[in-house]
Amino acid sequence: MRSVSFGPGFESWRDQARKLMAQGVPPEEVDWTDAAQGESLFQPPEEASIPTGTPAEEQSWRVPSAFVNLARMAWAHVDPRRPAVLYRLLWRLTRGGEPYLLHVPTDAGVRLAEDWRKAVARDIHKMHSFVRFRLVGTDGESGREQFVAWFEPPSRCVRLAVPFFVKRFAGMDWSILTPDECAHWDGETLHFTPGLPKDQVPGEDNLDALWRTYYRSIFNPARLKVAAMRNEMPLKYWKNLPEARLIPELIAESQPRMETMLETPGREAAPVPRNAYIHQLLKRHDEVFAETIPASSDLAALSLEELHKAAACCRACPLWEQATRTVNGEGPENARVMVVGEQPGDQEDLCGKPFTGPAGQVLRNAMVMAGLEPSDVYLTNAMKHFKWIPGAGRRRKHATPAKEEVRQCRPWVLAELARVRPAVLVLLGNTAAASLLGREVKVTQERGLVQAPELAERVILTYHPSHLLRLPEGPAQERAMAEFMADLTLASEA
Amino acid sequence: MDIDRKLQILADAAKYDASCASSGAARKDSQGSRGVGSTGGAGICHSFTPDGRCVSLLKVLLTNVCLYDCHYCINRRSSNVTRARFTVEEVVQLTLDFYKRNYIEGLFLSSGIIRNADYTMELVIEVARRLREEHWFRGYIHLKTIPEASQELIERAGRYADRISINIELPTEAGLAKLAPEKNLVKTQEAMGKIRLRIEEAKESGGRTVPAAARPARRPPFATGQSTQMLVGADDSDDAAVLGRADQLYRSYQLKRVYYSGFSPIPEPSSLLPLKPPPLLREHRLYQADWLLRFYGFQVEELVPASAPRLPLEIDPKLAWALGNRAVFPVDVNKAPRELLCRVPGLGIRNVLRILEARRHCRLHVADLKRLRLNLNKCLPFVMTADHTPRARLLDGDALRQRFLPLKQLEMNFHATPVPTADDTLAVRSGEF
């Protein structure tokens, strides 16, 4: 049995462990003794002797950095078994031939070290939460405010916890005093001094009373959950928290306060005040939320702007419930060319304008190449709401509208057509064609000019740009793209 | 009115907003500056009140004077509460003073609507601007935005805030029309949509994955996330409506969080509100279901099918799903894919990952699961290990469900809370309740 003594710091254990490793001392032959606790059971602790292993041998034991990080954290725990457990882990990882050990979270030793790490991480987190600074003065020269805090961490985590305070409170001078070790920051350097007894600590801060006012007011007596509070803010921290003294009375008062609320008679709604803004908000509710399909005759009298407003309130089919908003057409009312797509997509639904997504980009580029200026064209869709189904992850996946939904939305696009009265009407894809031609259409079979004089002088049927996007790169896509361009050129030449 | 009294009124007025998150902000800190503040990584809860909620941010209203008449809200114009108003400077000072004492992570500022949406929004933004530009404050700022405010103001709010949010309040248009007549579902969604586009734009122009030279011209920074809150139990929407709306919001606007706030009695109640608050457990079940939607690959219809649109209160939603889909089980922890392990009651994401890692090196036994601190009572009936197979008939019998019911079953019908009668009302008001 080899007796080895270690000090409080992680480095002292690390140095000893290095030497033992180099000498090839297996974990079962080491008796770890806390230098502060006194003597070993076996023999007087030895300052681990000069390593006997050759340097080459030493180098061959590569310790994964994951282990060093784990051990450094776990070391701050108070469990007296940790030097032995950590050394055994180190041994198994290297000489023991289990380099993958840290990836076996069900191993008893790994579990124990992980538990210590977790407990220390929690202590650090709680220190970040519950340290309370008190203002003690202002530096005469620099004008920096000076703060002091007293804290009693359950483990030796001060050094691990303070970098957080340096980052957060760089602009003020502070000291965090603990029974173990104290940390001080002056704006430039962080240094440590030995622990202090509690009586050295300044009393209350002026702001503590205001903080208690806040704590009292933010508490909701109608939903008492004391166990949940104590779970997150364990009793051991209460003595240094200025707000904790309120807890018993808040709990005691909550029941009567809740009863008073339940007994209070309900108050009627107040009359609408004289405020133009509020009246304008309320007016929206008077606008008809049309739950039936609008009659074309009702829409005939509306201007384009009125039409768009009315469409925004359409509730004829259930698609509006999943969509953000109605996406109306856009473009000059006297446009020579009108382009009708299928429906708004994810991007269009968010920004409220047609053809702004990826398919819209394809269309706009192709239009420019065909000699059509997009801003001269009236762009719209057969469907006014985005229909989608849940996609992978958190996406919305485009869904093809049902026949019935297309029928219900038809009056809106027909009314737009009647307002714009374009010479050329371009229908993109099957849905737009079905909506405006009023029959089932297959673009692949009827592409090009179609006869529909009741709609416009010249009606052109072509692919939807999203179809082009979906085709795999290759001759098929090139052919379809050429056909698409040819159809758009038909529209610009007319 | 002194600052203590104002704080009392305006914190009290803000406490019904459940959001407290201070996580997910871009990494920044005060090093090398004259100011204080840091964000990034997990947020910190600086205290807990006896309602079990954390105190993370200084959550106050700029004023509780409000033109709107939302019936679930204590600050509505028909309420008789005492009104107060902070000056911009008072909120700035209070935030800094609290922050320097490490009471808080930052500020969550909201306001009653005075004059109009834009006027109110300007005041809220001015607080954030002063904190950032005049005091070099780098702590967390969450601003509540008003959907009716102009796009330009929402843009400015996003420049100073780490998070901006708009409350959806109720899951349906009909509910809003009745209880919050000035609010409007479509308007709220439109604003959320614009915020999502703006957040994504900022992310693209500032992302580290894009080499600096290839980045588009840098737009001013913008908040890194948006969230919302939905009130539960104030109208008659069932859990399917609530979760359906939440799922739609997550997908459409990429929200970081939807907060569910079980409607709780308020002083100055409105005559339009239900007499009894919903059980606090309902809110808890909704949060559990929300997690299942976001991280465990569940779909809304699986948790609240049309035939049972309410989550059971007595058992958690994952267990309820497992009991209803027993053909899927038992799941072999040594072989099953990740998606399936995620569906085992009592197995959280973290432990699923641990199992996946561990089984590359060894076959798992019950003792291994025990070392992972799993709730064995809950998961063993649903899993197979190298040394355990649940009794074949256990998964069939009705006894399995009984096993998971709380020990003391109250005689209470959770699914159909009786509608209060006029007599009930009298009884409650006269204190017999």
Q: Where in chain A is the domain with CATH 3.40.470.10?
A: 286-493
- For B248, the 3-state DSSP assignment is helix
Distance from CA of A155 to the nearest CA of B (A): 19
**What pLDDT, on the 0 to 100 scale, is given for residue A290?**
56
**Yes or no, beta carbons of B431 and A263 under 8 Å apart:** yes
**Any domain includes B427:** no
Nearby residues of A434 by Cβ (< 8 Å), 6 or more positions away: A382, A403, A406, A440, A441
**Yes or no, beta carbons of B248 and A322 under 8 Å apart:** yes
ipTM exceeds 0.90: no
Region A6-29: what's the mean pLDDT?
90
Q: Which amino acid is at A151?
A: F
Tens-digit pLDDT profile for residues A237-257: 999 999 999 999 999 999 899
- Chain B environment of A229 (Cβ under 8 Å): 48-52
Report the alpha-carbon angle B150-B153-B154, nearest 5: 90
B1 touches chain A (CB under 8 A): no
B216: preceding bond cis by omega (within 30 degrees): no
Residue A189 neighbours by CB distance under 10 Å: 8
Range 180-239 of B in CB contact (< 8 A) with A = 181-182, 184, 186, 189-190, 192-194, 196-197
Q: Are A439 and A452 in contact (CB under 8 A)?
A: no
Pairing mode, strands A388-390 and A378-381 = unpaired
**Yes or no, beta carbons of B100 and A145 under 8 Å apart:** yes
Q: What token pair was written down for A14?
A: 């690390």
**Yes or no, beta carbons of A218 and B14 under 8 Å apart:** yes
Closest chain B residue to A227, measured at CA: B52
According to DSSP, residue B131 is labeled I
- For A104, the 3-state DSSP assignment is coil
Cα dihedral B423, B425, B427, B429, rounded to 10, equals -150
Region A328-357: what's the mean pLDDT?
96
- Chain A environment of B102 (Cβ under 8 Å): 131-133, 149, 169
User: Dmax over Cα atoms in chain B, in whole Å?
Assistant: 73
**Any domain includes B301:** no
Residue from A333, A330, A329 nearest A409 by CA: A329
Nearby residues of B49 by Cβ (< 8 Å), 6 or more positions away: A215, A218, A219, A220, A229, A250, B55
- Chain B environment of A260 (Cβ under 8 Å): 267
Top CATH class, A286-493:
alpha beta
Q: Which of B39, B59, B101, B259 to mutate to test binding with chain A, by most A CBs within 10 Å of its CB?
A: B101
Q: Which of B11, B102, B197 is facing A214, going by the closest CB pair?
A: B11
Q: Are A170 and B33 in contact (CB under 8 A)?
A: yes
- Chain B environment of A225 (Cβ under 8 Å): 50-52, 280
A56 band by pLDDT with thresholds 50, 70 and 90: very low
**What pLDDT, on the 0 to 100 scale, is given for residue A213?**
97
In angstroms, what is the C-alpha Rg of chain B? 24
Domain that holds residue B27: 1-165
- Asked if pLDDT for residue B184 goes beyond 50, the answer is yes
Q: Are B156 and B220 in contact (CB under 8 A)?
A: no
- Chain A environment of B168 (Cβ under 8 Å): none
Closest chain B residue to A251, measured at CA: B50
Q: At which residue do the structure tokens 């935005």 appear?
A: B145
Edge-first strand order for the sheet with A134-138 is A134-138, A145-150, A173-177, A181-185, A190-194
Residue from A355, A487, A493 nearest A426 by CA: A487
Give the span between the Cα atoms of A129 and B43, in whole angstroms. Answer: 10
Closest chain B residue to A101, measured at CA: B361
**Yes or no, beta carbons of A267 and B37 under 8 Å apart:** no
First to last CA, chain B: 38
Exposure b/e, A406-434, CB count within 10 A at least 16 = b: bbbbbbbbbbbbebbebebbbbbbbbbbb
Give the span between the Cα atoms of B22 and B38, in whole angstroms. Answer: 11
Tens-digit pLDDT profile for residues B198-219: 999 888 776 444 444 444 444 4
Give me the percent of chain A exceeding a pLDDT of 90.
69
**Yes or no, beta carbons of A263 and B428 under 8 Å apart:** yes
Picking from A323-332, A398-407, B273-282, which range would have the lowest pLDDT averaged per residue? Answer: B273-282
A&B contacts, CB < 8 Å: 272
Domain count across chain B: 2
Tens-digit pLDDT profile for residues B126-146: 999 999 999 999 999 999 999
**What pLDDT, on the 0 to 100 scale, is given for residue B13?**
93
**Any domain includes B374:** yes
Tens-digit pLDDT profile for residues B404-427: 877 554 444 445 544 555 554 444
Q: What token pair was written down for B74?
A: 């204590």
**Any domain includes B1:** yes
**Any domain includes B241:** no
Distance from CA of B401 to the nearest CA of A (A): 27
In B130-238, which ranges are continuous DSSP H helix? 151-160, 173-179, 185-206
Closest chain A residue to B138, measured at CA: A168
Query: Which residue did the predictor score with more confidence, B425 or B432?
Result: B425
DSSP calls for B165-176: E---BSSSHHHH
Residue A291: half-sphere exposure toward Cβ, Cα within 13 Å: 1
Tens-digit pLDDT profile for residues B87-124: 999 999 999 999 999 999 999 999 999 999 999 999 99
**Yes or no, beta carbons of A147 and B101 under 8 Å apart:** yes
Closest chain A residue to B262, measured at CA: A223
Q: Are A311 and A384 in contact (CB under 8 A)?
A: yes
Give the span between the Cα atoms of A338 and A420, in whole angstroms. Answer: 8
Q: Which of B31, B103, B237 to mutate to test binding with chain A, by most A CBs within 10 Å of its CB?
A: B103
